């Protein structure tokens, strides 16, 4: 990120995203991490929430997307989150990481997921 950064770590939600029938029927936990790039100097100078991002609103937007309409791929979910943040908040760039701690795939690992970076056009 080239700008100042607001970050969210370890936001955990329960959703029904996935390719396998058990994922869409039983659901699972999703962990979302965010970095929002913007100039924080105006907010720091004025001590005014209107000059920055309301963390509670960001959390609510992400919660509604993760707990809302299912998608097959976490790539799609990450893209929806990035798009909502870029259009709904005064940020110039975002980094979105969506992690599935317990996906129904064989093997030994801590988690799987995706990370995307998007900029305002």
Q: Render pLDDT for 95-104 as a digit per residue (tens, 0 to 9).
A: 999 999 988 8
**Which CATH number belongs to the domain containing residue 66 in this structure?**
3.30.1130.10
Flag whether pLDDT at 11 surpasses 70.
Answer: yes
Q: What is the mean pLDDT of the chain?
A: 94
3-state SS, residue 93: strand
Burial 18-57 (b: 16+ CB within 10 A, else e): beeeebbeebbebbbbbbbbbebeebeeeeeeebbbeeee
Q: 11 forms bridges with which residues in the sheet?
A: 32
- Contact of 75 with 96, CB cutoff 8 Å: no
Catalytic residues: 100
Confidence of residue 110 (pLDDT cuts 50, 70, 90): confident
Expressed as residue numbers, the domain containing 15 is 4-119
Give the mean model confidence (pLDDT) for residues 23-44: 95
Contact 37, 47 (CB under 8 A): no
Number of domains composing the chain: 1
Of the pLDDT bands very low, low, confident and very high (cuts 50, 70, 90), residue 2 is low
Q: Are 118 and 82 in contact (CB under 8 A)?
A: yes
């Amino acid at each position: 990120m080239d700008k100042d950064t607001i970050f969210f770590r370890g936001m955990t939600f329960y959703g029904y995203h996935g390719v396998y029938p058990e994922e869409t029927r039983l659901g699972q936990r999703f962990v979302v991490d965010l970095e929002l790039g913007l100039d924080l100097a105006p907010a720091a100078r004025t001590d005014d929430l209107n000059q920055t991002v309301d963390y509670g609103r960001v959390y609510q937007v992400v919660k509604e997307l993760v707990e809302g309409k299912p998608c097959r791929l976490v790539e799609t979910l990450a893209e929806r989150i990035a798009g909502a943040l870029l259009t709904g908040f005064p940020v110039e760039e975002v980094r979105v990481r969506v992690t599935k701690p317990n996906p129904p795939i064989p093997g030994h690992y801590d988690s799987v997921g995706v990370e995307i970076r998007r900029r305002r056009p």
